Amino acid sequence: MDPVRNKSDMFYVYILKSLKNGKLYTGYTNDLRKRFKEHNDGKSTYTKGRGPFKLIYYEACIDQDDARSRELYLKSGGGKRFIKSRLKRFLFRTGWNI
């Protein structure tokens, strides 16, 4: 097995912060830069009109099913507690609350 993977082989779970309404949005993609641009350009149905956004967290996965499962977890109560704990200093410093 090759330990160095192509960029396109990775999947990313990400959390965006809306600078307009203060809400967090979680998703996954295999092209994080492109997807972030789509959110900010209003090309994402769910976040359209809620930008601009700031990318505040992401994780890389080597399997799409793992990324999708992680996305669903981060959207759950336990996942939100994990993010709140993981980003505690950042969230406190910036006055964001989840």
Residue 5 has pLDDT above 90, yes or no: no
SS3 71: helix
Distance (Å, rounded) from C-alpha 72 to C-alpha 90? 23
Q: Compute how many other C-beta atoms are within 10 angstroms of the C-beta atom of residue 29.
A: 20
pLDDT at 4: 53
Using one digit for the tens of pLDDT, what is the confidence trace for 29-83? 999 999 999 999 999 999 999 999 999 999 999 999 999 999 999 999 999 999 9
pLDDT at 26: 97
Q: What is the dihedral of CA 61, 64, 68, 71, to 10 degrees?
A: 20
55 token code pair = 């990318």
pLDDT at 8: 64
Fold for 7-94, please state it: GIY-YIG endonuclease (3.40.1440)
pLDDT at 22: 87
Contact criterion met (CB below 8 Å) for 62 and 9: yes
- Residue ranges covered by each domain of the chain: 7-94
